[in-house]
Amino acid sequence: MVATSQSGTTLGIIAGRGKLPAELARAAAGLGRDIFILALQDQADESLVSDFPHGWVRLGDGNKALRVLRDAHVEELVFAGGVTRPSLLSLRLDARATRFLAKVGIRALGDDSLLTAIIHEFEAEGFKVIGADTIWSEARMPAGQLGKYAPTDGDWQDIRRGVEVASALGKVDVGQGVVVQQGIVLTVEAAEGTDAMLKRAATLKRKGVGGTLVKVAKPQQDRRVDLPTIGLDTLLSVEQAGLKGIAVEAGNALLLDQAQVITAADRTGLFVYGIDLTQLNQDASSDTSAV
């Protein structure tokens, strides 16, 4: 069900890295939507967008982006996939993008602040920006245990610590993920992204059991963009890092390849869990009041 979008309009997908843009396009096409993908050069995977009507634009070419979207009769927009931000020198900003950055100023330093400013800019140009989960509600991370394996008491200590740290990072617009083992924060996610963070975690893992990837949305985050996302590749990276599982905020994150993730988690002995933050906070309050 798509309650907030208009089925007669063309849906524009601004595509960054990963499988999310293509998966979202397939889901929207299944709902009868007309699709146009605006793929970001040096970010989007050509093999994943080539099955759909699409065009290419480089970061920093704001005028072309608007022109291509309007030529494709796009009225609604979704942002999908990660973007590695290059240096300002390499962006080769056009006049419109230069004016935009001059206007947002220091707010462009954080990902969430920059994305929120970009949304406002597109809306000022007459586009309606909607969230990926508005189109593809089945991809929302469900609450609770997925698969055969559940977090142990020790894992829950790491999950609570991970939520605390990730939420603090999110408040200052840094990242959404953290890896915790035996109460020790091994790595936090910054500009490098989840995969690179997990590779670093593999080199820092302590002896003994444990180790959990925790991802939560930033507290102030616009839920239409950059929701925490995991999929089969994430699970395999967690396995390669020698960790025990993944805990992701339920309802405010996206889960790709759900059936494959559960199958792989059961095969590898990893847990995948959707965290209900409200319940987690209530449990923490109860524990504190009982002391």
The whole-number average pLDDT for the span 137-149 is 94
Integer Cα distance of 81 and 43 in angstroms: 9
The whole-number average pLDDT for the span 79-100 is 67
* pLDDT value of residue 28: 94
pTM of the model: 0.82
Query: If you average pLDDT over every residue of the chain, what do you get?
Result: 85
Residue 291 has pLDDT above 80, yes or no: no
Tokens 């009225």 sit on residue: 75
* pLDDT value of residue 258: 93
- pLDDT tens, position by position, 153-202: 999 999 999 999 999 988 877 778 999 999 999 999 877 788 889 999 99
Residue 151 has pLDDT above 50, yes or no: yes
Residue 86 has pLDDT above 90, yes or no: no
* pLDDT value of residue 2: 34
- pLDDT tens, position by position, 32-84: 999 999 999 888 999 999 999 999 998 878 889 999 999 999 999 999 988 77
Integer Cα distance of 174 and 111 in angstroms: 7
Domains, in order of start, for the chain:
10-135 (3.40.50.20), 140-290 (3.40.140.80)
Integer Cα distance of 262 and 244 in angstroms: 14
